Amino acid sequence: MATTRATTEERSAVRTLLRLWPYVRPVRTRLFTAAFVAVVASCTGLVIPLVLKWMVDGPVADRDPAGVWLGALYLLLLGLAEAVLFGIRRWLVARPLSHVEAEMRAGLYRRLQRLPVSFHDRWASGQLLSRGTTDLMLLRMFLAFPLTFLLVNGVTILVGVVIMLMQDWVLGLVILGPAVPVMWTCVVFERRYAEVARRAQDQVGDLTTVVEESVLGIRIIKGFGRHRSQARAFRELSGTLRGTELRKARLLATIWGVIVTLPELAIGAALVLGAVRVADGALSAGTLVAFLSTALALRWPVDSIGFLLAMSQEAATATERYFEVMDEVPEDATPTAAVASPPTSSEAGLRFENVRFRYPDAPPGSPPLLTRIDLHIRPGESMALVGATGSGKTTLTALIPRLHEVTSGHITLNGVDITAMSREELRARVAVAFEEPTLFSASVGENVLMGAADGAGKADLDRALAVAQADFAHTLPQSTDTQVGEQGLSLSGGQRQRLALARAVVGRPEFLVLDDPLSALDVHTEAAVEAALRQVLADTTALIVAHRPSTVLLADRVALLSGGRISAVGTHQELLRTNAEYAHLMSGEQGEDEGKR
């Protein structure tokens, strides 16, 4: 499953997480306020041991019940204050962080829409889905909890240590004894956990891909009885992910064991030493109670270090994965040149000039798929493109709307290089219908009107459906408002293809590119569509990938693609008489093109 995988070598989690700042900046005031409130709340809890010291050394020692009740009131008020402050912190962060997550998700979706087709060819869809769901959820959790409490707990530990040293510096040094081994454990843990966390999140993406492909391809799986092999592949990936998650759990258990055990031993040693000093009269009972209460209050901030570091590493990995997509160079939406003069007769229409194309991920040194493509389709002319399987017909048509970029050469529309137009302008002038139509989980009308400019209405929809012989749409349960379902699989292949054709013609495009648009139609429907399509082709400049003579006859001329170049151009009858390769392709001996790239 192809995807770009980053390594954790030389990675700084802090530097990686700082890339979130542009998203956090608009809500920084509430987040800083929430952190301050949390620090105050946590430090409020550290006042409780001081109240206990006063109670033990004062009212309790003096047998003053009124003083004890007053101390209890102080403790109750401090507890309530701490609870209210933490509640305020939660209220402060909930809304802004959901906004941050929504903005990041929207930004990722926008970037995916702008990235070139070559990017989507390289990346597994499950990897992209996991970045838009699981990874962003991890980032929201990090911003809501670890980001704040790494600061809060750090301040709390620092204040608590100062309080303990002020109570008794000897016992304070005993408590500080485990600090060095705990910090060393955290450093080792951070490095190892980062690697395992990255591996786990990539494996989640792989697993998501398998699930998605199994759902979308359920008809193939059932049709060929491959459910067992798919289940086996899923189990293998699940087992791999389980092993990685167990590795994470072992690392977390190790650091938690160190972080919990060493401070507990230090507290035990301080208790014994303190009790001895109280018995000797060197220390008051209230001081020992306050000291131990402070130490116990610091257990949670210290114990939480392990999973806060783990969540921070997972967030750093999620940030890394998120920006792997966001750092990809999008399609340039602005023109790179300008051609203002009107086209001459030789420039008008659609022209390929010495076009060469090689896939960016092709093996080094491999020959280009297309080379020296020279072709001129005059204004209002329809050109059929014919070639053997794998000759590059579909790739050639994809160059016109810039789904792929030419390696060299030029493609012009009415004398203007397509790279001199914004993609928005180019794709408004060029409409495309693919051999394998894609429909979205929307109504029939919404799917068709995707090909029209804003403001298109029912008249445009009805006209396009009539041209594509897709009047069946009016007989659906809710007519053209009927939801077609995911991938349009509730419709037949021919129905989906006719709706895709309607989508291509609804906007009355200046240039039309049709990739074998009638392959899924029966003979009678094909004839009806061809009759209606001829009227559309009379008013547009069209390039039509064709595999059957009936489709070829829609065109004024035919171009034969062979050996990566246009080897012959002429009418259907001319090429039948003069070109043996073309005659062979049209004889039906050559199977239909299923492997075009």
Give rounded-to-5 percent helix, strand, coil for the chain: 65, 10, 25
What pLDDT is recorded for position 45?
82
Q: How confident is the model at residue 338 (pLDDT cuts 50, 70, 90)?
A: very low
- Residue 345: per-residue pLDDT: 56
Tokens of 469: 């012989």
Phi-psi region for residue 521, left (φ > 0), alpha (ψ -120 to 50) or beta? Answer: beta
If pLDDT is split at 50, 70 and 90, which confidence band does 569 have?
very high
Q: Are 449 and 461 in contact (CB under 8 A)?
A: yes
Q: Are 14-326 and 350-586 the same fold in CATH?
A: no
Biggest CA–CA distance in the chain, Å, is 121
Q: How far is CA 155 from the centre of its chain?
A: 36
Q: Contact 38/149 with Cβ under 8 angstroms?
A: yes
**b/e burial code for range 394-410 (CB count within 10 A of at least 16 → b):** bbbbbbbbbbbebbebe
Q: Please tell me whether residue 402 adopts helix, strand or coil conformation.
A: coil
Domains of the chain, residue spans: 14-326, 350-586
Phi, psi angles (nearest 5°) of residue 485? 80, 170
Look at the domain 14-326 and name its fold: ABC transporter transmembrane region fold (1.20.1560)
Q: What is the pLDDT of residues 190-231, one digit of tens each?
A: 778 888 888 888 888 888 888 877 776 776 677 767 778 788
Predicted confidence (pLDDT) per residue in 54-109, tens digit: 888 777 777 778 878 887 888 888 889 888 888 888 888 888 888 888 889 999 99
Question: Model confidence over 297-308: pLDDT tens digits?
Answer: 888 888 788 778
What tokens appear for 52 in the block? 């206990």
* Per-position DSSP letters for 542-562, written without gaps between them: EEEE-SSHHHHTTSSEEEEEE
Q: How many CB atoms lie within 10 A of CB 422?
A: 14
- What's the CATH superfamily of 350-586? P-loop containing nucleotide triphosphate hydrolases (3.40.50.300)
Is residue 368 exposed (0-12), middle (13-18) or buried (19+ Cβ within 10 Å)?
A: middle
**Closest by CA position to 529, among listed 463, 467, 436:** 467
The whole-angstrom separation of Cα 180 and Cα 386 is 74
The rounded distance, in Å, linking the Cα atoms of 289 and 143 is 36
Cα–Cα distance list, 197 to 6, 251, 294 (Å): 12, 11, 34
Check whether 549 has a pLDDT greater than 80: yes
* 469 has pLDDT over 70: yes
